[in-house]
Chains A and B, each alone.
Chain A
Amino acid sequence: MSTLGIIFSDMQDWNLTELASHRSVAAIPFGGRYRLVDFTLSNMVNSDISKMCIVTKTNYRSLMEHVGSGKDWDMSRKKGGILIFPPYATEENNGLFKGRLDALKKVLGYILESKEKYVILSDCDMIYNINYKDVIKFHEESNAEITAVYTKTNITKYDSVHKILYKFDPDGRADDVLVYPVISGEKNVGLNTWVLNRDFLINLIYDAIARNLQDFSYDVLAKKVKNIRIYGYEYEGYYAHIDSLKSYYDHSMELLCKNKLNSIFYAKTGPIYTKIKDSAPTKYGENADVKSSLIASGCIIEGTVENSILFRGVKVGKGAVIKNSIIMQKTIIEDNARLESIVTDTYTHIKSERVLLGHKNCPFFIRKNSII
């Protein structure tokens, strides 16, 4: 069951202006020591997929640095392994793609040279644990041309505008696809993951070139739903869609609930791999007071931390109080500073006695390298 993975680093980056202002969506830090791409990469590695590429758009330096040769995902291989496609300009185009189909046109050569029977297309803004082998088995058995992974869930009209929704006929074949609608209720929400036969995908791309089509969701899924056999594979576990700073905050906070933490990090599909940093274990001082928190390695904690996530190498000074916050790596919080409902990006420095208050419904974001 040979399968090629194609990961898109930035399909919906306009939703995440704060977090993705200087990095690709794939490289957004999450869960104390990960970046969003780790979840998709680990799903692929844990499903025995050994050849994959990441299609990037802009600001891909931190992503390239993170993924490197792929050895931390066991993907530094002689056969297969990881390849990163930054945008490149040719005579015909100016480099930046305009949609998923347009992006696929640019990696057509790679797809043509591959020999795998199936291709998985996946974005990086969804966090969930899945074994793709099950999806491919379903794809074979249902004789689908495109299999879309979806989950049944209640959504509001505020959520729905970032989601692709499917309606299926009694046989399970999609008969309607809505892209970014305004709608609410229990819906089949797409998880931005699709399985296709490689030959079928190649023909789709040829067709897109001939007709100048750019967008996979509108031009293929929605418009051709009557002509293409699209089936849905239902995923039933925990998932998180990171489509705004608020949802980033809420889903991060969900990790402090032990069941959700277990379903992501201790799932039977396998571990989540990430880049190894060799930081020392975290040190707690005599006056440390830590409750309900997820703490990565390399931190030094001398103050109070409650309901928060600390990334690698964070320093919390004496008397500092951090509540309901996400503190990204290498943030320094000096003595007696107070932070509530704050998201600090990497390498920020909060000097002593500073008081920063956001609200759970509207977390306050502090940009990378800020000094406060």
Chain B
Amino acid sequence: MISTKKECVVMLLAGGQGSRLGALTTKIAKPSVPFGGKYRIIDFTLSNCVNSNLDTVGVLTQYQPLILNSYIGDGKPWDLDRLYGGINILPPYQRVGDSTWYSGTADAIYQNMDFIDQYDPEYVLILSGDHIYKMDYSLMINYHKEKRADCTISVIDVPYEEASRFGILSSDSEGRITEFEEKPKYPKSTNASMGIYVFNWSKLKKYLEIDSNDSSSIKDFGKNVIPCMLNAGEKMYSYEFKGYWKDVGTIDSLWQANMDLLGNNSFDLAGDWVIYSRHLEWPPHFIGPNSTVKNSIISEGAVILGKVENSVIFSGVKVAEGAVVKDSVVMADVEIEENAVINYSIIDELCVIGENKIVGCEKENSENITVIPRESKLI
């Protein structure tokens, strides 16, 4: 038999609904929400994997997987169509005597232990498919090896006011974790868990078994498995990540992360750390004779005849003569007709905004971002 052994297998949690994104996720899972002109959120983690030389990825899906499944396909756009390993979509499945949905993040991995065992890995890297960042996971795995850790958790420094939204870690001067609290009311530090874990596979297996037999557990990494390992005195280390990292779990943060791409941005899509995505064939975008485009990013196939300012315009968007788009995110294939005005909004894919329509209010006078759901026709 040909050896299919891999040092590290990646398990990417992509089954969440992302209910705080409201209308944007009624038809699609959060990882497949469009982002940044031509990407979907999951492109960032998938590209990070390939760029970190990790070529065996299991994608755990559950909620509204159709668009995600066809988007990932055979993994070719991320160079993940491989002879051994590559990308594998892992939905819940039926077994003899038992079949359940994934009841939590830990359960999703527990139900796919056979998948991981095929590759007989030393390490398993657990990721979630809903963050925007560029990170070299191989550095974190090296750190994990150096520390001879059983588990390494990636952390980022967050403002104190926001800390109670995250899992908060305290560690000693060597980086060894001394305390872990999930969403604490009074955080003891500002080291937030990014939901990125490296485990020794043999150790993780042991704790997944324990967790699965614990009827009081809600089968969650942050709430059950990590605290359980810590209490048992396993060697757990925190790995500090410095760089741009954004959880795009809410409409506000999704809008803000898109805006972070503009100007002297905090996050740059270009550069050597390429973010890959599945492409449709579009010609270059066209800017008309009377258009103005300022402080924006514009993707292929867009036709801009009107005015665009401080906005992110996706592929195939049409902005007709006299139309104005300001402080907004306009997703693929949206048509904005003559003299329509879009302010401080997120327009989901395939919408039509008719002539003279006004969507949203000026950012200065508005508290909320207007969201127009997929395929709406405002005529």
Residue of B nearest to A273 (CB): B281
- When C-beta atoms are compared, the residue in chain A nearest to B271 turns out to be A280
B286 within 8 A of A: yes
Indicate whether A293 sits within 8 Å of B76 (C-beta atoms), given known contacts A278-B277, A281-B36, A284-B295: no
Q: Is residue A297 contacting chain B, with contact meaning CB distance below 8 A?
A: yes
The answer to whether A295 and B284 have CB atoms under 8 Å apart is yes
B299: contacting residue among A271, A278, A297, CB under 8 A = A297
**Are B281 and A295 in contact (CB-based, < 8 A)?**
no
Are the CB atoms of A271 and B281 closer together than 8 Å?
yes
Contact A272:B286 (CB < 8 A) given known A281-B37, A282-B297, A284-B296 = no
Q: In this assembly, does A265 line the interface, its C-beta being within 8 Å of a C-beta of chain B?
A: yes
Q: Are A284 and B298 in contact (CB under 8 A)?
A: yes
Q: Is the CB of B300 within 8 A of A292?
A: no
> Which residue from chain A places its CB closest to the CB of B265 in the assembled complex?
A283
The interface size bin for chain B is: 35 or more
- Residues on B with C-beta less than 8 A from A294 are 283-287
Contact call B286/A258, Cβ cutoff below 8 A: yes
Question: Does A226 sit at the interface, judged by CB under 8 A?
Answer: no
B288 to A291, Cβ gap below 8 A?
A: yes
Q: Is A155 an interface residue (CB 8 A)?
A: no
Residues of chain A from 245 to 272 with CB closer than 8 A to chain B in the complex? 256, 258, 261, 264-266, 271-272
Nearest CB in chain B to that of A281: its residue: B37
Does A296 reach chain B (CB closer than 8 Å)? yes
- Who on chain A is nearest to B315 by CB? A281
Is A5 positioned at the interface, with any CB of B under 8 Å from its CB?
no
Given A279-B270, A281-B269, verify A288-B294 contact (CB < 8 Å): yes
From the candidates B261, B275, B277, B287, name the one contacting A292 in the complex (CB within 8 A).
B287
Is B38 at the interface (CB under 8 A from chain A)? yes
Find the B residue at minimum CB distance from A310. Answer: B284
A278–B286 touching, CB < 8 Å:
no
Contact with B along A25-47 (1 / 0, CB 8 A): 00000011100000000000000
* A141 contacts partner chain B, Cβ-Cβ < 8 Å: no
A204: interface (CB < 8 Å): no
Q: Is the CB of A32 within 8 A of B275?
A: no
Contact between A296 and B284, CB atoms less than 8 A apart = yes
For B47, the closest partner residue in chain A by CB is A278
Check: A286 CB closer than 8 A to any chain B CB: yes
A56 to B40, CA, bound (A): 39
Contact flag A295-B283 (CB < 8 Å), given A280-B270, A281-B269: no
Query: A293-B287, A297-B299, A298-B270 are contacts. A286–B279 as well, Cβ < 8 Å?
Result: no
A89 within 8 A of B: no
Q: Are A291 and B291 in touch, CB under 8 angstroms?
A: yes
Q: Are A281 and B288 in contact (CB under 8 A)?
A: no
Chain B contacts to A: CB under 8 angstroms:
36-38, 76-77, 261-263, 268-270, 274-277, 279, 281-300, 312-313
* Interface pairs A-B: 5 shortest CB-CB: A281-B37, A32-B284, A280-B269, A271-B281, A265-B283
Interchain residue pairs with CB less than 8 A apart (25): A258-B286, A264-B283, A266-B283, A272-B281, A278-B279, A280-B268, A280-B270, A280-B297, A281-B38, A281-B298, A283-B297, A284-B294, A284-B295, A285-B263, A285-B294, A288-B293, A290-B293, A291-B287, A291-B290, A293-B286, A293-B287, A294-B287, A295-B286, A296-B300, A310-B284
Interface residues of A (CB under 8 A from B): 31-33, 71, 256, 258, 261, 264-266, 271-274, 276, 278-298, 300, 309-310
Known: A265-B283, A291-B288, A295-B298. 15 other contacts (CB 8 A): A256-B286, A271-B281, A272-B283, A273-B281, A276-B279, A278-B279, A280-B36, A280-B269, A281-B297, A283-B270, A292-B289, A293-B287, A294-B287, A297-B38, A310-B284
